[in-house]
């Protein structure tokens, strides 16, 4: 299995809709960050489904090192 790569060292804000599901890129290789575009093929890694509980802005992790997958927990600041 491949390691996740850092897409960028800051989170990506996204306006989400309550009840809608999003597929967060875990491998770091997607060109459509923070979401999966299928580039994880052959890495052994898979996207993570996130379903929004309410409308609003959330900050998705882009360094792929967060402990609160798929959202930013500030880990990027120590990279
Ligand atoms: Fe990264 Fe799918 S492209 S998990």
- The pLDDT mean for the chain works out to 97
Report which ligand 1 atom has the smallest distance to the Cα of 46: 4
Task: Give the domain range for residue 64.
Answer: 1-79
CA of 78 to the centre of ligand 1 (A): 23
Does residue 10 have a pLDDT over 90? yes
pLDDT at 1: 79
Identify whether the C-beta of residue 18 lies closer than 8 Å to the C-beta of residue 55.
Answer: yes
- What is the pTM assigned to this prediction? 0.95
Does residue 30 have a pLDDT over 90? yes
Q: Tell which one of 4, 39, 50, 69 to mutate to probe ligand 1, the residue whose CB is within 8 A of the most ligand atoms.
A: 39
Does residue 45 have a pLDDT over 90? yes
Average pLDDT over residues 32-40: 98
Number of structural domains (the chain) is 1
């Amino acid at each position: 299995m491949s390691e996740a790569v850092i897409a960028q060292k800051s989170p990506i804000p996204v306006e989400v809709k309550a009840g809608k599901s999003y597929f967060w890129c875990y491998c770091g290789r997607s060109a459509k960050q923070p979401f999966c575009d299928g580039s994880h093929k052959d890495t052994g890694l898979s996207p993570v489904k996130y379903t929004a509980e309410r409308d609003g802005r959330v900050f998705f992790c882009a360094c792929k090192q967060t402990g609160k997958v798929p959202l930013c927990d500030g880990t990027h600041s120590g990279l």
